[in-house]
Amino acid sequence: MALDPLSQKIVDVMSAGFPRFGETVFDAAEARARLAALPKAEVPRTPVARVEDRTVPGAAGPIPVRLYWPGEDEHGLPIVVFFHGGGFVLGDLDGHDAMARDLCAGAGVIVLSVDYRLAPEHPCPAAADDAYSALLWAHENAASLGGDPARIGVAGDSAGGNLAAVTCLRSRDEKGPAISHQLLIYPVLDSAQNTASYSVHAEDGFLTAKAMAWFWEQYLGPAGDGGHPYVSPLRAPDLSGLPPACVITAEHDPLRDEGEAYAIRLAEYGVGAEVHRFDGAFHGFLSVSHILGYAREALSLAASAQRKALGME
């Protein structure tokens, strides 16, 4: 189905303000500067009990993180390690503050939002290494945060969805912390970029196929292996033993098919996986949940999936 008039208007406004990655803008620093110069939209922020900025140790140095608590005097809460989107090139803690707050309040969990290193200055596996380091820290320090080390989930949107999926694979492979749930919101899962949705929805949503190709070029760099499971989780030869997943996709999104294919493959390996496609939606639609009713529905669905998987219901 086509975008509804309100969604189309939002896509038009967002697209007009964003650089045309891979078409007119090819330098990451220039892209970030252009985005920083745009007027900042006033987005409602869901109240949470407490927010705190910290750093956690990483292989290449301290990693900035932001912690969110849903209540003042709660102990033994699940922790969700959250990775922001931005094509591995863009994004930060502030840009995804609203989504982190929504997940914290909606699911009643502690959220650890991770400001991982960005490409092309830090190509893969830098972001994935930071993501895994953040998981290890959350597990080791869960009790001091008021969290439960036995109930840890991961979540992310777009490129952050990739990092969430990769973190699950790596923790399984390296016998790291047990992860109870993975929330993948219109995730990036395969560098091949050869699905039908890449052709059918190359231009009609906010994220274009050309922009995604440019993001992959930045992330892979000259030596990256696009076929490695820690880069393209959809190509992992074995998906057994992974945590249950909730995958949210948007109809008008080049990434739609790979997200849905991942849920199907997880199920084939006996992993509980639910997939929810939002028809008429575009990539990034959860960022405007204060405007779009179906985006609020998606956030509610995501929070419900986390509550159930993390033992909150």
Joined together, the tokens standing for residue 309 give 């998987």
Closest CA to 131 of 159, 173, 98, 102: 159
- Residues 6 or more apart in contact with residue 222 via CB below 8 angstroms: none
Q: Is 253 a catalytic site residue?
A: yes
190 in Cβ contact with 161 (< 8 Å): no
Q: Is 290 a catalytic site residue?
A: no
User: Catalytic pick from 113, 133, 158, 232?
Assistant: 158
Joined together, the tokens standing for residue 225 give 């292996």
25 has which bridge partners? Answer: 21
Q: Is 158 a catalytic site residue?
A: yes
214 in Cβ contact with 198 (< 8 Å): no
The type of residue at 262 is Y
Residue 247's H or E segment, with its range, is strand 245-252
Q: Measured between alpha carbons, how far is 303 from 313 in angstroms, rounded to an integer?
A: 11
Q: Report how far Cα 56 is from the mean position of its chain's Cα atoms.
A: 19
- Residues 6 or more apart in contact with residue 300 via CB below 8 angstroms: 106
Nearest 5°: phi and psi at 196? -60, -35
Pairing of strands 77-83, 147-157: parallel
206 in Cβ contact with 15 (< 8 Å): yes
Residue in this structure with the two tokens 């090819």, named with its chain if needed: 26
Between 293-309 and 97-107, two packed helices, what is the crossing angle to 10 degrees?
A: 50
User: Catalytic pick from 197, 283, 287, 289?
Assistant: 283
User: Catalytic pick from 181, 253, 287, 289?
Assistant: 253
Joined together, the tokens standing for residue 308 give 């159930």
| DSSP, res 291 | T
Q: Would you please indicate which residues are annotated as catalytic (active-site) residues?
A: 158, 253, 283
